[in-house]
Amino acid sequence: MKMRVIETNVGIQNEVTVEMFDSFARTMRDRGWNGVDSMIASGLRGGDMLEIGPGPGYVGLEIAKKLTPDSLTGCEISPAMLQFARKNAKNYGIDARYVQGNCMEMPFEAESFDSVISNGSLHEWETPVRVFNEIYRVLRPGGRYCITDLRRNVNLLARYLGLATAKPRAIRPGFISSLNAAYTVGEITELLRNSDLKGAMVTTDFFGLCISGEKK
């Protein structure tokens, strides 16, 4: 098993990369490949919803379109991503609130949300256990979470298909560096065991992993 190679500790900041990522995320949405339905199937409900690392926002906005939560808030570290998320929410006609912040120390009161979602951001968090503890803190009792990401030890076919189909082509090296920075189920299980999300369930699919559960 190859060692993890850290991709970034400060999120995606470079404006050219952000624009390219917006185009990539839009393509994933249009192909129906952004995992929204399986995130919903994990048991997410509406209420006040928080998205961690929304990037350009498509995943949370698509979930909001389907679950019509009372509110949608995003916690995003990159100012350039925030601009795209705000523009995209406007186009969706969804009154989302995107806040600049580091998910390791979220700028929200305890028990502020009924659901927490995140896709593709986990591999960029410097200390995932701190984020898991923050998720527990900001959730109300009975609230649900679903965190999805790539998985480092996918098989060669998944690695090849992910690379060959990623559009625009310029994003392809970024796909590989994200994959190399992603966790294995064993690593995530160990991190969860040392966090307040001890009871979480971890499942896998072709490309990734999903951490889901409920705050008791």
Residues that bind ligand SAM (CB under 6 A): 11-12, 25, 53-55, 58-59, 75-78, 81, 102-104, 119-121, 124-125
Integer CA distances (angstroms), 38 to 33, 52, 104, in order: 10, 17, 25
CB of 6 to ligand SAM, least distance (A): 12
Residues 169, 64, 87, CA angle at the centre, nearest 5°?
Answer: 55
CB of 200 to ligand SAM, least distance (A): 19
Q: Which is nearer to ligand SAM, 21 or 144 (CB)?
A: 21
CB of 57 to ligand SAM, least distance (A): 7
Q: Which is nearer to ligand SAM, 23 or 71 (CB)?
A: 23
Helix axes 15-31, 58-67, angle to 10 degrees: 40
Contact 149, 183 (CB under 8 A): yes
What are the DSSP E strand ranges found in the chain? 48-52, 71-76, 97-100, 113-119, 139-150, 201-204, 208-214
Q: Which is nearer to ligand SAM, 138 or 141 (CB)?
A: 138
CB of 5 to ligand SAM, least distance (A): 15
Q: Which is nearer to ligand SAM, 75 or 166 (CB)?
A: 75
CB of 199 to ligand SAM, least distance (A): 24
Q: Which is nearer to ligand SAM, 66 or 142 (CB)?
A: 66
Contact 61, 130 (CB under 8 A): no
Question: Which two structure tokens, joined as six digits, stand for 10?
Answer: 């400060």
Distance of alpha carbon 114 from alpha carbon 116, whole angstroms: 7
